[in-house]
Amino acid sequence: MTVTTPGATLAPHDVQHDGGDDASSAHARKPRDNNDPRNNDQRNNARGKDGGGNNKQPRRDKRDVHGWVVLDKPIGMTSTHAVAVVKRLFSAKRAGHAGTLDPLASGGLPIAMGEATKTVPFVMDGRKRYRFTVAWGEERDTDDTEGKVTQTSDVRPTPEAIRALLPRFTGLIEQTPPQYSAIKIAGERAYDMARDGEIVPLVPRPVEIHELTLVEHDDSGKSVFEAECGKGTYVRALARDIGRLLGCYGHICALRRTLVGPFDEADMIPLEQLQALCDRAASGEGSLADALLPVETALDDIPALAVTRADAARLHRGQAVLLRGRDAPNTSGTVYVTVAGRLLALAELGNGELIPKRVFNLTGLTASSALKESN
């Protein structure tokens, strides 16, 4: 466990369901018109097959589920839909994701359930790693394959020219987000404005690229890169800007996220495998707990502090605890507190005082225990 205090704050938490950073969705769908007949189909399905309440399917009771599922999101699925599917499989009361992934992208989508949603900011602020393919010769308005072609070129870059340019995209750089991004401007999403034909007034903003490497290049006009970057980076914008400087234009044609904060590919579970595990659990052949990672997995980059049961009781009531004596910690900042090896709270430590900021109630299904019914 490291003792580095993270940059994540303990401000009021918003569960992430849409928009935001990294490879965020360029193609969110418009809401349907109220007269769209498909709306009636959905309402009828919600009431029953005949729309009048007959043949209504039994609704499964929601339950307390706490932990992380790192879905290996398939291509074509939105992040919001992925959360809904996982939430339904677990019959979980609460769920949200830690960073939107494009429908056209695959890879790690960390989904927090229950009390894990309190730790989402720590994952959101972590590093992300992507493997992506750029097709040269065309720039598109969405900066990926779904957009309209806006610029073309017969020029194709050499690997030497590409590598020579990469240092300019490494470190702290200024990046203009894509026109089709989830950034809000005067209350409207940029992709909605762009879809309506408006010129989106986006300004450059600082992002950090920790590493950018060319890993493959072929004569067909495509190059494969790997990038490790911080919060707010748009990989599609990297492809766009590199193509412009090379004078050949470019857009993303494949994208996979391989790292999100503490979660890497070893933590990912494909949707089919998760569904099979849930089916086995429903028939008594396994436990859904096997698919969960502990809530505290998201807190790997901050120190843990064990307290006595007496101090734990005070923290659980929202009261501060004074830590005195020879064994008192000499660090300060954000810590996560445990009692008897179990996660209790996120707290701020300073001047020998431990102040609780978020208290966890892990009654229910967790990664380390069988299902317990809430009292």
Catalytic amino acids? 102
Strand, coil or helix: what is 109?
strand
**φ and ψ at 169, to 5 degrees?**
-115, 25
Residue 307 and residue 349 in contact, taking contact as beta carbons nearer than 8 Å: no
The encoded tokens of residue 217 equal 């290049």
> What letter does residue 161 receive in the DSSP assignment?
H
User: Residue type for 287, please?
Assistant: S
Secondary element (H or E) of residue 259: strand 250-260
**Full 3-state SS string of 25-82:** CCCCCCCCCCCCHHHHHHHHHHHCCCCCCCCCCCCCCCECECEEEEEEECCCCCHHHH
Cβ contacts of 238 within 8 Å, gap of 6 or more: 169, 175, 209, 212, 225, 227
Give strand pairing partners of 140.
149
